[in-house]
């Protein structure tokens, strides 16, 4: 009886541990967008269940004693994001030592790699109140290194309602906020939820000052789900102004799962300058079948390659072949006594169209050229081409409105000729 009770206790304890471990993992569809500073904490948004995560793009956050210790990145539906938002790594490990938070980055095989900032390790330092004061970057040998933005060290301090940020390179010289946006000393203002709502370019007296393009601050708005829905650029007087890309503010649209589906940018007077739709692999809807016109053109281009050879038409060859053509076949290497791949270049094909059939005896008087479209989807087609001499498989692409042969794999009709 005692053995049974002990076994029951062990089983219950085991299930309790499993439940505890399960509760330590949280699943999110997205990471909160950040283009402000690495001082802004990582935040998962749009929480989902493990069951939902199994069939969806997501992140897995693991916590131990209420501290984030790991993020697994399964987010494969991301539109192009800001480098401060993305990780560029499969696994991010978080370690805590005294007042330091250490982040290292790994690929799926457990090999250490650089993140999207081009560094192997990030070490954040916190004061006794938990405020982040410093960030330093390190290489594989724990030597100080610079990010791909030329930054090796971030430093933060509080000033009134702002978090003041400065950045330095390995020579301890100050660096702008990014290579493409020229703010020097900056002041970050957070809202009550901890979201960054404004970022100011500051002078030596911590007053907003305009950069070379007339921008003194940019302001961000987030919705209740954590989506970044609006960003505005202001001059030192707090009025809307044009940024270096010549718009004053942008508005983003999202679907019910937090996938960005559109963006529009506006002038200072709210005039719409540009609007775009952001497409995502979340929705895998097949495009319409190619048109009859495209089918006719695919066959014409495919046959055009043979006609150019047969009738000595280099201009036609140039029209049907893409400049990045990859044409290949198999041949036998007698020296090494094994088969190998033989390639023919685009330039050689143009030359062949001028001279290969100059004698007029390379093809029958009435050549038999048969073309079959094996498959075609949107701007790509796979074609089988059979002639008196060859049996060939072609890949065509529609680029800038024109169908072109981009890949060509061929064999002699009697394929023994390729290997003897």
In this prediction, residue 236 carries a pLDDT of: 96
Q: Quick check: is 197 in a domain?
A: yes
Longest dimension (CA), the chain: 100
Q: Are residues 306 and 244 in the same domain?
A: no
Mean pLDDT, range 190-213, rounded to an integer: 96
Task: Say whether both 313 and 386 belong to one domain.
Answer: yes
* Residues 6+ positions from 156 with CB-CB distance below 8 Å: 39, 131, 132, 133, 134, 163, 164, 165
Q: State yes or no: pLDDT of 235 exceeds 50.
A: yes
User: Both 385 and 361 in a single domain?
Assistant: yes
Q: Which residue has the higher pLDDT, 80 or 56?
A: 56
Q: Is the pTM of this model over 0.85?
A: no
Q: Are residues 69 and 93 in contact, defined by beta-carbon separation less than 8 angstroms?
A: yes
Q: Which long-range contacts (CB under 8 A, 24 or more apart) does 18-27 make?
A: 24/62, 24/63, 24/64, 25/50, 25/60, 25/61, 25/62, 25/63, 26/60, 26/61, 26/63, 27/52, 27/53, 27/58, 27/59, 27/60, 27/61
- Cα 293 to its chain centre, rounded Å, is 34
Distance, CA of 312 to CA of 306 (rounded, Å)? 10
Mark whether 248 and 301 lie in a shared domain. no
- Within-domain flag for 287: no
> In the Cβ-directed half-sphere of 329, how many Cα atoms lie within 13 Å?
16
pLDDT tens, position by position, 92-138? 999 999 999 999 999 999 999 999 999 999 999 999 999 999 999 99
Report the chain's mean pLDDT, rounded to a whole number: 91
Between the CA of residue 134 and those of 38, 300, 322, what are the distances in Å? 10, 64, 52
- What CA dihedral angle connects 249, 76, 40 and 191, to 10 degrees? 50
Domain end residue (candidates: 221, 254, 277): 277
Of 243, 277, 311, which closes a domain?
277
| Residue 14 placed within a domain | no
Q: What is the pLDDT of residue 189?
A: 98
Asked if 311 and 243 sit in the same domain, the reply is no
List the single range of 163-172, 213-222, 300-309, 411-420 with lowest mean pLDDT.
411-420
* Cβ-contact 45, 32 below 8 angstroms: yes
pLDDT band of 14, cuts 50, 70, 90: very low
pLDDT value, residue 415: 65
The token duo for 89 is: 């790594």
Check whether residue 241 and residue 297 sit in a common domain: no
At 7, the pLDDT band (50, 70, 90 cuts) reads very low
List, for residues 379-395, the tens digit of each pLDDT value.
Answer: 999 999 999 989 999 99
Structure confidence at residue 276 (pLDDT)? 92
Q: Is residue 158 over pLDDT 60?
A: yes
Q: Is 346 part of a structural domain of the chain?
A: yes
Cβ within 8 Å of residue 146, ≥6 positions away = 137, 152, 169, 170
Cβ(347)–Cβ(354) under 8 Å?
A: no
Check if the beta carbon of residue 55 is closer than 8 Å to that of residue 71.
no
Instruction: Please check whether residues 257 and 396 belong to one and the same domain.
Output: no
User: E strands, 55-131, where?
Assistant: 58-64, 67-74, 91-97, 100-106, 121-126
Shared domain check, 348 and 244: no
pLDDT at 210: 97
Count of beta carbons in the 10 Å neighbourhood of residue 151: 25
| CB within 8 Å of 330: residues ≥ 6 apart | 339, 340, 341, 342, 411, 418, 419
H or E, element range at 318:
helix 314-320
- Residue 19: pLDDT above 50? no
Same domain, 28 and 76: yes
Q: Examine the pLDDT at 252 and tell me if it is beyond 70.
A: yes
11 pLDDT above the threshold of 90: no
- Give yes or no for a contact between 200 and 219, defined as CB atoms under 8 angstroms apart: no
pLDDT digits (tens, 9 = 90+) for 33-54: 999 999 999 999 999 999 999 9
Q: Do 353 and 313 contact (CB within 8 A), yes or no?
A: yes
Do the domain assignments include residue 211?
yes
Inside any domain, residue 5: no
Q: What is the CATH number of the domain that holds 324?
A: 3.10.450.50
The answer to the question of residue 192 being in a domain is yes
pLDDT tops 90 at residue 282: no
Average pLDDT rounded to a whole number, residues 397-412:
96
Query: Is the pLDDT assigned to residue 13 strictly greater than 70?
Result: no
Residue 285 lies in a domain: no
**3 state SS of 310:** helix
**312 neighbors 354 (Cβ within 8 angstroms):** yes
Q: Do you know the residue count of the chain?
A: 420
Same domain, 215 and 66: yes
Domain count, the chain: 2
Residues 170, 296, single domain; the answer is no
DSSP 8-state class, residue 370: E
* Pairing state between β 217-222 and 321-333: unpaired
Full residue range of the structural domain in which residue 153 is found = 23-277
Residues 6 or more apart whose CB falls under 8 angstroms from that of 41 comprise 194
The reported pLDDT for the residue numbered 21 is 47
Q: How confident is the model at residue 419 (pLDDT cuts 50, 70, 90)?
A: low
Residues 344 and 392 in one domain: yes
Q: pLDDT value at position 246? A: 96
Q: Domain end: 277, 307, 338, which one?
A: 277
């Amino acid at each position: 009886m005692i053995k049974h009770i002990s076994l029951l206790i062990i089983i219950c304890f085991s299930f309790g541990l499993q439940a505890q471990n399960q509760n330590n993992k949280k699943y999110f569809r997205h990471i909160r967008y950040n283009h402000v500073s690495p001082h802004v904490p990582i935040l998962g948004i749009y929480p989902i269940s493990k069951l939902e995560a199994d069939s969806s793009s997501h992140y897995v956050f693991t916590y131990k004693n209420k501290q984030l210790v790991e993020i697994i990145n399964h987010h494969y539906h991301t539109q192009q994001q800001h480098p401060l938002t993305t990780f560029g790594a499969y696994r991010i490990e978080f370690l805590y030592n005294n007042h330091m938070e250490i982040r290292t980055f790994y690929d799926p095989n457990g090999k250490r790699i650089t993140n999207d900032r081009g560094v192997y390790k990030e070490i954040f330092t916190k004061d006794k109140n938990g405020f982040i004061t410093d960030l330093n970057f390190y290489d594989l040998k724990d030597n100080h290194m610079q990010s791909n933005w030329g930054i090796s060290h971030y430093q933060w301090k509080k000033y009134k309602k702002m978090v003041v940020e400065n950045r330095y390179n390995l020579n301890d010289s100050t660096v702008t906020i990014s290579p493409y946006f020229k703010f020097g000393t900056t002041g970050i203002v957070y809202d009550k939820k901890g979201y960054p709502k404004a970022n100011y370019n500051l002078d030596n007296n911590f007053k907003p000052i305009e950069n070379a393009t007339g921008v003194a601050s940019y302001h961000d708005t987030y919705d209740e789900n954590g989506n970044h829905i609006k960003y505005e650029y202001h001059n030192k007087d707090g009025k809307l102004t044009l940024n270096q890309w010549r718009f004053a503010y942008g508005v983003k649209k999202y679907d019910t799962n937090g996938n960005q589906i559109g963006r529009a940018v506006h002038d200072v007077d709210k005039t719409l300058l540009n609007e775009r739709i952001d497409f995502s692999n979340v929705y895998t809807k097949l495009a319409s079948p190619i048109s009859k016109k495209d089918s006719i053109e695919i066959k014409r281009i495919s046959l055009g390659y043979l006609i150019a050879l047969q009738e000595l038409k280099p201009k036609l060859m140039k029209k049907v072949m893409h400049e990045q053509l990859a044409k290949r076949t198999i041949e036998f290497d007698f020296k090494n006594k094994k088969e190998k791949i033989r390639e023919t270049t685009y330039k050689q094909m143009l030359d062949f169209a001028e001279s290969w059939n100059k004698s007029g005896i390379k093809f029958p008087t009435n050549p038999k050229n048969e073309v079959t479209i094996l498959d075609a989807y949107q701007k790509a087609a796979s074609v089988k081409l059979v002639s008196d001499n060859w049996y060939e498989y072609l890949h065509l692409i529609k680029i800038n409105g024109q169908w072109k042969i981009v890949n060509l794999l061929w064999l002699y009709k009697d394929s023994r000729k390729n290997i003897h």
